[in-house]
Structure 1
Amino acid sequence: MAGRYFDEWLIGQEINHELHRTVTETDNVLITTLTHNPQPLHLDTEYAENSEFGQIVVNGIFTFGLMIGISVSDTTLGTLVANLGYDKVVMPSPVFIGDTLRCTTKVVDTRPSKSRPNCGIVSFKHHMHNQRNQIVCSCLRTALIKAKPK
């Protein structure tokens, strides 16, 4: 199990996740069609080339999902009870096909659960960066995590 128990988290801890991912056209087409998103900026090359971006922009749902997915193995894999929420999701820079993305995480809050004595709540600030070190997505994730077994 790679995830950490509630008792193992400290406010201010930072993780540079080792897994990086280069975004492919297939990634973008699959997520866009799976979610029934008809936005031509994600699917229509001619439309996208005439936009302010000059090319296809990767669907933000993919970027967000990849950011969370990359973070799981180093944070909550096997210790998560439930994700309680995702707040302050922002995408300040676009992602393009061929961009290589990486994720960082910082613990911003921890507190024992009031309703579950064997669990605690950890708030993570996740950031996704491209190869130019621009932040392309960030969010605050709040998770209910198991305490270390006694």
Structure 2
Amino acid sequence: MNKTQEGRFFEDFTLGEEIEHALPRTLTEGDSALYQALTGSRFAIQSSETFARRAGYDRMPLDDILVFNVVLGKSVPDISLNAVANLGYAECDFLRQVYIGETLSARSTVIGLKENSDKETGTVYVRTEGLDHRQVPILTFVRWVMIPKRDPKSKAPPAVVPDLAPSVERLTIPRHRLNRNWDAKISGSPYYWEDYTKGEKIDHRDGFTIEEAEHMLATRLYQNTTRVHFDAHLAMSTRFGKRVVYGGHVISIARALSFNGLGNGCIISAINGGSHTAPTFAGDTLYAWSEVLAAQSLENRKDIGALRLRTRVIKNQPASDFPTGGKDVVLDLDYSVLLPKRP
């Protein structure tokens, strides 16, 4: 009897199937520090215990995208171990802040299946929940993944593509007042919610070159075991001929780059939608720009507001001319951040 895990192929998924993922993960100070070292993220609340306490937190929360990637990583052995590509995201709702010492687990439900036109692959849609140590949801999201078929001649199930919301309707916000002791000199940005307008475009300017060892180390940090990110021998047989950088790590880099221009947007409340529009490889240099889709007031909150942003990541060319498409755009991400209003 073969005791090793082969991973699932398209034929192995059933619509409505519920999957409890193995290996709960306790996040430590080391995880947080390594994430910052690999991405360069420097938002004040996730960088300084003192700043977080002054802003009203009991202690410093973990970076939201680190939490997202760890929860996604829990689902990989059961969903996307054999994936050709992780295609997109929707309805990602960050339900509460997560702190050092929390233990995360995950479960998923298969909500859509569709054979692709090449007849050799299919797209699997899953809704994944991240849970804390009490099994209370802290995060939920939908993602869809291209999975190869075990047998290209096998009959595919009837196509079901879920109807997904264009945005997360109700943003989860912290209970405490956020701007009472907010110090913009310390946070690294002088810009509050009132300083942003709908339609504004922000070139984040800085470039980030991805090194081979670093992107693989980051993906190991998330315990994401998808083979195309690690196995160079296997990758040679794919259409790319080399290892692909995990898309969630590209999101992490985009978030880190956005600090230059959005430094007070310390909290991600939702990812409304996103797609990996082209692959990223070691040696690529990433740049990013963001458009403000909406500046949203929040009911009964005079201390904070939300910005709905659309961030595009471009490889190997600056974003100063705000490119919106083409083969060099590798990520198109629609998400919402919270930031303080001017005191």
Settle same-fold status: TM greater than 0.5: yes
Query: In the TM superposition, what whole-angstrom CA distance separates every residue of 1:30-54 from its partner, at most 9, and x where no partner exists?
Result: 2134222221211111111223321
Q: Which residue in the other structure is 1:101 paired with?
A: 104
Work out whether 1:41 is the aligned partner of 2:45.
yes
Show the 5 A alignment for 1:62-101. Answer: 62-77=66-81, 79-101=82-104
Q: Over alpha carbons, which structure has the higher Rg? A: 2
Task: Provide the rounded CA distance (Å) in 1 between the counterparts of 2:134 and 2:52.
Answer: 21
Aligned residue in 2 for 1:120:
122
1:49-107 deviation line (CA, Å, top 9, x unaligned)? 22332101000111111111111111221x21111112222211110000000011110
Q: Structure 2 regions of 5+ residues with no counterpart? A: 154-343
Gaps of 5+ in 1: none
TM-score (norm 2): 0.41
Report how far residue 132 of structure 1 moved: 2.6
The alignment-based identity, stated in percent, is 28
CA contact (8 A) 1:112 1:121 kept: yes
1:143 aligned partner:
145
Q: Distance in 2 between matches of 1:2 and 1:57?
A: 36
> CA-atom RMSD, angstroms?
1.4
**Of 126, 132, 135, the match for 1:133:** 135
**Structure 2 residue identity aligned to 1:91:** F
Counterpart amino acid of residue 101 in structure 1? L
Q: What is the Cα deviation at residue 143 of structure 1?
A: 0.6
Structure 1 residue 110 and structure 2 residue 113: aligned? Answer: yes
Counterpart secondary structure, 2:84: strand
Compare relative contact order (CA 8 Å, sep 6+) and give the higher one, 1 or 2. Answer: 1
Q: Structure 1 runs of 4+ off > 3 angstroms?
A: none
Q: How many equivalent pairs are there? A: 148
Aligned residues of 1:127 and 1:135 also touching (Cα < 8 A): yes
Cα 1:90–1:2, aligned 2, differ >3 Å: closer, same or farther? farther
